[in-house]
Structure 1
Amino acid sequence: MKLLGKALRTCAFAVLAGSLFPALTATAAEKEAPKDIVLTGDAKCTSCHDENDSPEALRIGKTKHGTVADKRTPGCTNCHGESEKHVKEAGRGTGPAPLVDVGFTKKNTATSPEAQNAACLSCHQGSTRIFWQNSTHARRDVTCASCHTVHDGHDKVREAKSQPEVCSNCHKEQRAQFARPSHHPVPEGQMSCSSCHNVHGDNPSQLQKASVNDTCYSCHMEKRGPFVHNHQPVAEDCAICHNPHGTNVANLLKARAPYLCQECHSHNSHPSQLAGLPTDRTTNTSLLGTVGRGCLNCHTNIHGSNSTVNNATAGRFRR
């Protein structure tokens, strides 16, 4: 009877306290059930990662991932995992909080690149990313977060002007080449790295097309041909003569004429010669090759020619 009486008195006190101090009970209820701030079900995370502690995390509301009206929009735990250990041990003050199960951070070394990328590929596996697992980037343990800023509305890698800045963090040689006088207008923002490269693809050099030539022809279609007289290096690979990222020679050429041409054409017709002038009037090509030193002065259609005039020399890519 004593125990029953004590229990009844405790219940009566709780009811009386609720009626006399409704504000206190309401505050306690709010603490027990925090409200979502950005995404559906994010209260579990934003109770700690709020505008004071992690304002950068809340910027996700300005991105496609923050479109709550879209039923496909994920919540925090869809990408980062349930992270029960992180929730239980956070705030102890005994050291850094444990990493989440799958974290979008460039410094996350506790989670394998495959596991981090799997969180993204669970939604973004199709389209140009369908062969990501066999790509050069994936084989070298590059993660989605290495290039993309998921929580920021301004993802630099998705804008033409800022994309080279992200790519050049690793591709420093190409950044130096773009600083040379002759280059594609990537630094000017008229093109971007993804204009030629599919960074999620698995073909050689991760190009947009199946080959170097097909990629180049998407803009330089006048060089495609077919021509009556085809220049074999042109049909094989544009990069034999051109460096697409930048050179010190006009037209992205790897070297100046005649040195570039004589890498192949040095055995006949115009043999390699030291620079000099003929000592007398002559028509000898072994001497005239030293005058002007410009193969393109005569061979103007170097990518291919349709000329049928003077068939004996029509295949020499003249007008």
Structure 2
Amino acid sequence: MKLLGKALRVCAFAVLAGSILPALTANAAEKEAPKDIVLTGDAKCTSCHDENDSPEALRIGKTKHGAVADKRTPGCTNCHGESEKHVKEAGRGSGPTPPVDVGFTKKNAASSQERNAACLSCHQGSKRIGWQSSTHANQDVSCSSCHKIHDGKDPVRDKADQAEVCYECHKEQRAQVSRPSRHPIPEGKVNCSSCHNVHGDNPKALAKSSVNATCYSCHMEKRGPFVHNHQPVTEDCAICHNPHGTVIENLLKARPPFLCQECHSHTSHPSQSAGLPAGRTGSTTELGTVGRGCLNCHTNIHGSNSTQNSATVNRFRR
């Protein structure tokens, strides 16, 4: 009877253990299961890359990439890859690098083509349709070279800060923009993307198909057509102007008459030798030598609509 009672107690304990232990194990598993912090399915990543280890990575929740209500919002693995080996060897300083080099050393960084491929899987259309043949792509520039993917504020998308991002490579333009005659870039009224589409395949990364078309988007009064067209104007505005800045007013590359004489020989005014009058005079022949300012007479230099019956009507005078 004692053995039978002992056997019954053992059986009862086994049944009780069999019903309680799975429940305890399930509860423990639920408590230990990591939870998503920012993006859907980011628990595997944020278990290591948390606010202590990588606080900059969690700032992606402040960007458009962190809008979890949008079904198009990617997860960590959509951009960085599964990286199973990276997870297994976490903390050992080895393992494959995900496609986008956020938080990884340059030694382990993926190639620019791999990093760009992750972005272009979503951002291929619109103004970025010609990225693969663009100047920046041919120079191995990656999206993350200019864009702060995980930052709540992307400087290159901010009108006031965009130019500083471009100046990191384009140092000559930084110096030009600091000259007296320039576009209001430091004031934030105009930025680089006002004229340039850095994602396009235009040779000069212009927003429009040509230099003139880009300039005409603001300077419509210079577009024409005019009755009398000035050929350099219709060909390329940059023949006379440096759009990033010069030391001469109106963004001119040189002062008149030197700028004009690059095309027009000084012999067009043979009676006006380059010199100063010896004394006070009212002679137009001698006064024309003072200052040598072509625009004193030729004011409509971009084109004229004069219909006067005059031999000099096509010389862009008043």
The TM-score by the shorter chain falls in which range? 0.7 to 0.9
Q: Displacement, 1:107?
A: 5.2
Q: Does 1:36 align with 2:69?
A: no
Runs of at least 5 residues in structure 1 that lack an aligned partner in the other structure: 1-7
Identical counterparts, % of pairs: 69
Match of 1:101 in 2: 98
Contact persistence 2:100–2:114 (CA under 8 A)? no
| Structure 2 residue runs without a partner (length 5+) | 1-10
Equivalent-residue separation in structure 2 for 1:194 and 1:37 (angstroms): 35
Alpha carbons of structure 1 residues 11 and 228: separation in structure 2 relative to 1, 3 Å: farther
Q: CA deviation at 1:289?
A: 3.9
Deviation at 1:17, TM superposition (A): 7.8
Q: Structure 1's 252 and 14: CA in aligned 2 closer, same or farther, altered over 3 A? A: farther
Aligned counterpart, 1:75: 75
Partner-residue secondary structure (3-state), 1:44: helix
Deviations 1:112-161 (A, max 9, x none): 21111010000000000000000000000000000000011100000110
* In 1: Cα distance, 2:182 partner to 2:203 partner: 22
Aligned mates of 1:162, 1:12 — CA distance in 2: 69
1:77 partner letter = T
Give distance in 1, aligned partners of 2:34 and 2:281: 96
* Paired amino acid for 1:256: R
Q: Which amino acid aligns with 1:224?
A: R
Q: Where does residue 59 of structure 2 map in the other structure? A: 59
Alignment RMSD, CA only? Answer: 2.6
C-alpha separation between the residues in 2 aligned to 1:57 and 1:220?
43
Q: Which AA in structure 1 matches 2:311?
A: A
Measure the CA separation in 1 of the matches of 2:308 and 2:278.
Answer: 30
* SS in structure 2 of the partner of residue 293 of structure 1: coil
Tell me how far apart the structure 2 counterparts of residues 168 and 11 of structure 1 sit (CA, whole Å).
Answer: 74
- C-alpha contact 2:207 2:214 (8 A) present in aligned 1: yes
Relative to the length of structure 1, the TM-score reads 0.88
Structure 1 residue 84: deviation in Å? Answer: 1.1
Deviation per CA, 1:211-252: give whole Å up to 9, x if none: 000000000000011111111110110000000000000110
- Please report how far the alpha carbon of residue 85 of structure 1 lies from its aligned counterpart in structure 2 after TM superposition: 1.4
Structure 2 equivalent of residue 164 of structure 1:
163
SS at match of 1:206: coil
Rate the CA distance shift 1:107–1:242 in 2: closer, same or farther, 3 A: farther
Indicate how the Cα distance of structure 1 residues 230 and 278 shifts in structure 2: closer, same or farther if over 3 A, else same. Answer: farther
Shift of 1:197: 0.2
> For residues 14 and 49 of structure 1, what CA distance do their matches in structure 2 show?
39
The aligned runs of 1:7-22 (5 Å cut-off) are: 15=18, 18=21, 22=24
Aligned position for 2:175: 176
**Alignment partner, residue 308 of structure 2:** 309
Contact in 1 for aligned 2:79/2:98 (Cα 8 Å) = no
Assess if the C-alpha contact under 8 Å between 2:298 and 2:315 holds in 1: yes
The answer to whether the 8 A contact 2:199-2:205 is kept is yes
| Distance in 2 (alpha carbons) for counterparts of 1:275 and 1:187 | 40
In structure 1, what residue type is equivalent to 2:101? F
Following superposition, the deviation at residue 276 of structure 1 comes to 2.5
Aligned length: 305
The 1:157–1:54 alpha-carbon spacing in structure 2 relative to 1, beyond 3 Å, is same
AA in 1 matched with 2:253:
K
Q: Which residue matches 1:219?
A: 218
Cα distance change of structure 1 residues 283 and 9 upon mapping to structure 2, 3 Å threshold = farther
The answer to whether the aligner puts 1:254 opposite 2:253 as a matched pair is yes
Aligned positions of 1:79-228 closer than 5 A: 79-92=79-92, 96-105=93-102, 108=106, 110-228=109-227
Partner of 1:232: 231
Shift of 1:265: 1.2
Q: Is the 8 A contact 2:242 2:252 kept in 1?
A: yes
